[in-house]
A and B are shown apart, each in its own frame.
Chain A
Amino acid sequence: MAGVTAVELSCAELSVREVNAALRELPDGSAVRITEPRGRHNLAVGLTGRLDITIEGNAGYFVAGLCDGPNVDVEGFVGWSVGENLMSGTVRVRGNASECAGASARGGLIVIDGDASSRAGISLKGGTIAIAGDVGHMSGFMAQAGTILIGGDAADSLGDSLYEAVIYVGGKVRSLGADARVEELGAGDVTRVRELAVAAGFGHVSAEDVTKIASARHLYNFDALKDQKY
């Protein structure tokens, strides 16, 4: 494509700060390869440019956190809090993700091709997270808005203290958290899951067969008269 800048940034030669500074200088439309990430933290964070970034290997904590624009593709696994506070753009992880994937994400799409560890989508604030495999305990904890699609199974306490976020699970749920409940799938849910499965490339998720988890809304207001003990 004419006018596209192709750039390679090696973590063996540059510090994380230098990599992120270089990314910030690039014009929209640039394609960037970050090589030898070797588990480094904070790669490709806080970017607003329309960049296509490929991280060639395993990365550490907060990959693509705070981003508002770029597409980030990690060809490996990631540590804690991938796409934390994401505003827009997409983040794709080809391997597994550690804890707190997509924590507090306000927008954008985070796709995990493998499993995500505990607390995936904690405090989600409007973003979308699609996980092909399983998730660990306390996933969706206090999620306020947005969507989480789990292709595999969910461990204990899924959706504890949910607000308005909705969770769809293709596999089994070991247990629900406080104030989370199973709701019936509506036509809108099926459409939403189908579109999301297509966007994420999840051929194994059948939109009609997922379980929908949402808030029972019993924790929304503190009931001072409850049990009359105060």
Chain B
Amino acid sequence: MCGIAGLRLKNPDLYPRLGQLVVPMLDVLASRGPDSTGVAVYRHDVPPGEQKYSLCAPAPGYDWAGYVSRLEAAAGVVPVAFRPRGRDGVIVTSIGPDRGPELLAGIDPSVRLFGYGAAIEVYKDVGPAAKVCAQYGVADMGGYQAIGHTRMATESAVTTEHSHPFAVAPDLALVHNGSFSNYASVRRRLAAEGVRFDTDNDSEVAARYIAREMAAGADLTDALRGVMKVFDGFFTLLVAVGASLAIVRDSFACKPMVVAETADYVAVASEYVALADLPGVDKAEVFEPMPEEIYTWQA
């Protein structure tokens, strides 16, 4: 199964409540995916030019202070701020996204980079939504949009790295409900073109494909049109890029999705029950996305 949820706030008055609104959505969707949970939170809380790198520790009690001083020495950039979140944390630095991922991998390859960009923060782990959201304090996070995922693994291992979202380019994150059937072929083709992968997960292939298309100049809609042409299988995808949010379902639309839109927000979820506690949802326009149609919301 898997559950996916997204909330994009139109009313800035709601920004401080983003996490508080998203956590119950994911908690409800734990029934669709109890084995792992993840969320990408988007917020503008660093000065222009600064980037956030969401890092996952190889084990609890990791020496983050040592990591930061090695990074400062290697990059020659001071200061590098570290914001701890449970076992993991976010590095805030002026190191740009062009050289950041490689530089970080060189500091300690066992530290995993789960997302990076000017706005995005990614938190994910094995465990049901209530546990994972509590361990990272997601309910207390503000922001302008978030996408999340509750996983019931069908095609690759249940580990922190295999959890969604897959955030593989600056401020880009993808969550997927379904299963791609030809992803090994697509991955081989992308790998031959130099694209590198962190996991053997099918959804990561779609995220890498979208990232590559957009790096080559495609907009999000074009990239998702490409997904429909290139990928075979079942998918309802929710993709966030910077200030944009998009959804697309395969031609059979076997994997559910409900959208509720009000003057204050756009909310999407696998099941309406996950939207039922949102303020004013009883007056929202609620619809099911059509198969093979790309829906986007942007500033």
Q: How far is the CB of A154 from chain B (nearest CB, A)?
A: 14
Bound Cα distance A38, B252 (Å): 27
Given A99-B256, A137-B291, are A39 and B286 also a contact pair (CB < 8 Å)? no
Q: Which of B272, B288, B290 has a CB less than 8 Å from the CB of A39? A: B272
Question: Is B275 part of the binding interface, using a Cβ–Cβ cutoff of 8 Å?
Answer: yes
A40 to B277, CA, bound (A): 12
Residue contact B288 to A98, C-beta cutoff 8 Å: yes
Q: Does A117 contact B (CB under 8 A)?
A: yes
Q: Does any Cβ of B come within 8 Å of A85's Cβ? A: no
Q: Which residues of A contact B256 (CB under 8 A)?
A: 79-80, 98-99
CB contact between A79 and one of B272, B277, B282, B290 (< 8 Å): that residue = B272
**Would you mind naming 15 contact pairs between A and B with Cβ atoms under 8 Å apart?**
A38-B273, A38-B277, A39-B273, A39-B274, A58-B276, A58-B286, A60-B271, A79-B256, A79-B273, A80-B256, A98-B258, A118-B253, A136-B253, A136-B290, A138-B252
Q: In the complex, A104→B163 CA distance in Å? A: 35
Q: Are B273 and A60 in contact (CB under 8 A)?
A: yes
Which of A57, A61, A117 is close to B271, meaning CB atoms less than 8 Å apart? A61
Q: How far is the CA of A38 from the CA of B273 in the complex (A)?
A: 6
Decide yes or no: A40 and B273 within 8 Å by CB, A118-B291, A137-B291 being known contacts: yes
A41 near B: Cβ within 8 Å?
yes
Beta-carbon contacts under 8 Å, A35-78 to B: 38-41, 57-58, 60-61, 77
* Most B Cβ at <10 Å: residue of A39, A40, A77, A117: A39
A residues in contact (CB < 8 Å) with B:
38-41, 57-58, 60-61, 77, 79-80, 98-99, 117-118, 136-138
Is A39's CB under 8 angstroms from B276's CB? yes
Does B275 contact A39, Cβ atoms closer than 8 Å?
yes
Bound: A41/B270 CA distance, A: 13
- Chain B residue numbers with a CB within 8 Å of A60 are 271-273
Bound complex: CA of A38 vs CA of B282, how far in Å? 9
Q: How far is the CA of A160 from the CA of B275 in the complex (A)?
A: 33
Q: Mark B255-299, 1 if CB is under 8 A from A, else 0.
A: 010100000000000011111110000100010101100000000
Cα distance A99–B256 when bound, in Å? Answer: 9
Cα of A38 to Cα of B271 in the assembled complex, Å: 11
Docked-complex contact A77 and B286, CB < 8 angstroms: yes
A129 smallest CB distance to B (angstroms)? 18
Q: B22-33 interface mask toward A, CB cutoff 8 Å, 1 = contact, 0 = none?
A: 000000000000
Which single residue of chain B is at the shortest CB-CB distance from A61? B271
User: Does A79 contact B291, Cβ atoms closer than 8 Å?
Assistant: no
The CA of A60 and the CA of B32, in the complex, are separated in Å by 14
CB distance from A55 to the nearest CB of B (A): 13
B271–A79 CB distance below 8 A = yes
Residue of B nearest to A118 (CB): B253
State in angstroms the CA–CA spacing of A136 and B73 once bound together.
Answer: 60
Complex Cα gap A56–B19 (Å): 29
The answer to whether A38 and B276 touch across the interface, beta carbons within 8 angstroms, is yes
Which of A61, A117, A138 is within 8 Å of B288, CB to CB? A117
Which B residues are CB-close (under 8 A) to A117? 288
Q: CA–CA, A98 to B258, complex, Å? A: 9
Docked-complex contact A39 and B291, CB < 8 angstroms: no
Q: A58-B276, A98-B288, A117-B288 are in contact. Are A39 and B253 (CB under 8 A)?
A: no
User: Complex Cα distance A38/B290, Å?
Assistant: 23
Q: How far is the CB of B232 from chain A (nearest CB, A)?
A: 18
Distance from B150 Cβ to chain A, minimum over Cβ atoms (Å): 16
Kindly provide the distance from the CB of B2 to the nearest chain A CB, expressed in whole angstroms: 15
Residues of B contacting A136 with CB < 8 Å?
253, 290
**Chain A residues, Cβ within 8 Å of B288:** 98-99, 117
B 149-172 to A, binary, CB cutoff 8 A, 1 in contact else 0: 000000000000000000000000
Kindly state the separation between the CA atoms of A60 and B274 in the bound complex, as whole angstroms: 10
> Contacts of B275 on A, CB cut-off 8 Å?
39
Further pairs besides A38-B273, A118-B291: 12, Cβ < 8 Å: A39-B272, A61-B271, A79-B256, A79-B258, A80-B256, A98-B258, A99-B253, A99-B288, A117-B288, A136-B290, A137-B291, A138-B252
CA distance A185 to B34 in the complex (A): 51
User: A118 — which chain B residues lie within 8 A by C-beta?
Assistant: 253, 291
Which residues of A are found within 8 Å of B272, using beta-carbon distances? Answer: 39, 58, 60, 77, 79
Q: Which partner residue on chain A sits nearest B290 by CB separation?
A: A136
Residues of A with C-beta under 8 A to B274: 39
Question: How far is it, in angstroms, between the C-alpha of A60 and the C-alpha of B31 when the chains are bound?
Answer: 13
Chain B residues near A40 (CB-CB < 8 A) = 273
* Minimum CB distance partner of B28 in chain A: A39
A57: chain B residues within 8 A (beta carbon): 282
